[in-house]
């Protein structure tokens, strides 16, 4: 843990502008010492001038990332002047500065031809005031020595640019997927709101109808009137709960459809239609069926409907099992197939996003993914406590 912290700290420092200032100061100190005391420079009379040029060259390293072309020129020009004015010399300090400058302009520069021309001029200066036998090898060696870090810098620059491009594309794709998922959630919430609107309207219609029955039989058949009042109470309580769910949803201004909403009693027709399309479906009911709120039955039906649609699209020739588990406090719906599934990618899951939102509205749990024996499994549970 401590080692990782040290590595992160070092990386942040190396990438900070202050690191260039520290590098320039260190190189300047070394260059100044070599120019004044080192054995590799020309006679003593020229050492102060060489020291000044060395300081200028080293100081420009501080700008190697912020102003790469200006820094490269400021580094190479004094070194070239030393070569031209004071002749050839062998000094590790000047070679180090030139290599760092070539790499830096390759990574951070924006004009490779200009940088290449400056390096050619510096290499040519190596041949001045040299015997003809030594001039050409020195020029070739200098050109190669500067060209290698320059090429490495260009490669690093290209890789960084490609990495930034890939990162931008990944971020754009992630934003697009989030927008699509949000759109799917909003559409599903509007759909749920319209369906609940129909259910509540139906419940209120029952309340009105039963109230009329009570009015007609109140005196001559009190028992029937009490039964009607009990139905009114139960229906009203259910409608109140569904109204609370409806208020929390996003609604649009479109007119709600007037078609009756399906329930679990309509599963037989849905399964028959799916079988007719060539997909074998088996329905299993576990536990005694209980009377459920209309909104729960509708949502359970939608889970089965969407799952069978996905199986038709993706499962191929597969066996599909639909299991309804009636338990004391919830209803679990499970739809699984054993086909070769094609839903591993990012596309085609907006239906699952809508189902997840639908189940979440009623405080339930939703799972979808690879089954234990292959294929695809969708599992949703709806609380049934009133």
For residue 254, pLDDT beyond 50: no
Label residue 257 by pLDDT band (50, 70, 90): very low
Predicted confidence at residue 228, as pLDDT, reads 66
- Quote the Cα angle for 63-69-70, to 5°: 60
Q: Judge whether residue 79 has pLDDT over 80.
A: yes
- Rounded Cα–Cα distance for residues 222 and 224 (Å): 5
Region label for 314, one of left (φ > 0), alpha (ψ between -120 and 50) or beta (otherwise): alpha
33-46, pLDDT tens digit by residue?
A: 776 776 666 666 57
pLDDT tens digits for 217-234? 666 677 776 676 666 666
The pLDDT of 78-87, averaged and rounded, is 81
Q: Per-residue pLDDT tens for 324-382?
A: 999 888 899 999 988 765 444 434 445 677 788 778 777 889 998 887 767 889 999 98
**C-alpha 73: how far from chain center:** 42
* Rounded distance between C-alpha atoms, residue 60 and residue 337, angstroms: 69
Prediction pTM value: 0.46
Q: What average pLDDT does range 76-98 have in this prediction?
A: 77
26 or 337: whose pLDDT is higher?
Answer: 337
Q: Percentage of the chain with pLDDT > 90?
A: 8
**CB-CB contact of 127 with 118 (8 Å):** no
Cα distance between residue 210 and residue 189, in whole Å: 31
Query: What's the pLDDT score for residue 332?
Result: 93
Contact 197, 246 (CB under 8 A): yes
Asked whether the predicted pLDDT for residue 317 surpasses 80, the reply is no
In tens, the pLDDT along 136-180 reads 888 888 888 888 999 998 998 888 888 888 888 888 788 788 777
By the 10 Å C-beta count (0-12 exposed, 13-18 middle, 19+ buried), 278 is classed as exposed
Which are the contacts of 339, defined by CB distance < 8 A and separation ≥ 6?
311, 314, 315, 316, 317, 318, 319, 375, 376
Q: What is the pLDDT of residue 361?
A: 74
Instruction: Report d(CA 108, CA 71) in Å as an integer.
Output: 11
283: enclosing H helix or E strand: strand 281-286
Q: Where does the pLDDT of residue 323 fall: very low under 50, low under 70, confident under 90, or very high at 90 and above?
A: very high
* Domains present along the chain, CATH in parentheses: 2-129 (no CATH), 264-383 (3.30.565.10)
User: Is residue 118 over pLDDT 60?
Assistant: yes
pLDDT tens per residue, range 173-215: 887 887 777 777 677 667 766 666 666 655 555 665 566 666 5
DSSP characters for 78-132? Answer: HHHHHHHHH-----HHHHHHHHHHHHHHHHH-S-HHHHHHHHHHHHHHHTTTS-H
The reported pLDDT for the residue numbered 289 is 85
Helix ranges (DSSP H) in the chain? 2-15, 17-37, 47-59, 68-86, 92-108, 112-126, 132-217, 222-247, 267-276, 294-314, 350-361
């Amino acid at each position: 843990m401590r080692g990782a912290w040290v590595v992160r700290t070092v990386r942040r420092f190396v990438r900070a502008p202050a690191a260039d200032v520290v590098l320039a100061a260190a190189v300047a100190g070394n260059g100044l010492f070599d120019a004044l005391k080192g054995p590799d420079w020309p006679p003593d009379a020229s050492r102060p001038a060489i020291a000044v040029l060395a300081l200028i060259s080293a100081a420009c390293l501080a700008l190697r990332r912020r102003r790469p072309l200006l820094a490269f020129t400021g580094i190479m020009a004094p070194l070239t002047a030393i070569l031209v004015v004071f002749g050839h010399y062998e000094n590790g300090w000047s070679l180090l500065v030139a290599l760092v400058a070539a790499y830096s302009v390759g990574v951070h520069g924006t004009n490779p031809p200009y940088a290449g021309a400056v390096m050619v001029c510096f290499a040519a200066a190596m041949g001045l005031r040299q015997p003809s036998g030594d001039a050409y090898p020195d020029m070739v060696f200098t050109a190669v020595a500067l060209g290698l870090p320059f090429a490495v810098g260009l490669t690093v620059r290209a890789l960084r640019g490609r990495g930034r491009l890939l990162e931008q594309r990944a971020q754009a794709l992630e934003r697009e997927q989030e927008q699509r998922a949000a759109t799917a959630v909003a559409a599903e919430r509007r759909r749920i709101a319209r369906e609940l609107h129909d259910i509540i309207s139906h419940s209120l219609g029952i309340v009105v109808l039963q109230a009329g029955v009570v009015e007609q039989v109140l005196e001559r058949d009190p028992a029937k009137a009490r039964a009607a009042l009990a139905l009114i109470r139960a229906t009203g309580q259910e409608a109140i709960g569904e109204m609370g769910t409806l208020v929390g949803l996003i609604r649009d201004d479109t007119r709600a459809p007037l078609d009756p909403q399906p329930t679990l009693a309509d599963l037989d027709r849905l399964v028959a239609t799916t079988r007719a399309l060539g997909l074998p479906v088996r329905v299993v009911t576990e536990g005694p069926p209980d009377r459920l709120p209309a909104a729960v039955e509708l949502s359970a039906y939608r889970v089965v409907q969407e799952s069978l649609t996905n199986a038709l699209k993706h499962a191929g020739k597969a066996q599909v099992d639909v299991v309804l588990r009636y338990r004391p406090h919830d209803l679990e719906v499970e739809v699984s197939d054993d086909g070769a599934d094609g839903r591993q990618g990012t596309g085609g899951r907006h239906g699952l996003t809508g189902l997840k939102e639908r189940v979440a509205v009623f405080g339930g749990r939703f799972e979808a993914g690879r089954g234990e024996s292959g294929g695809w499994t969708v599992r949703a549970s709806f609380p049934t406590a009133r």
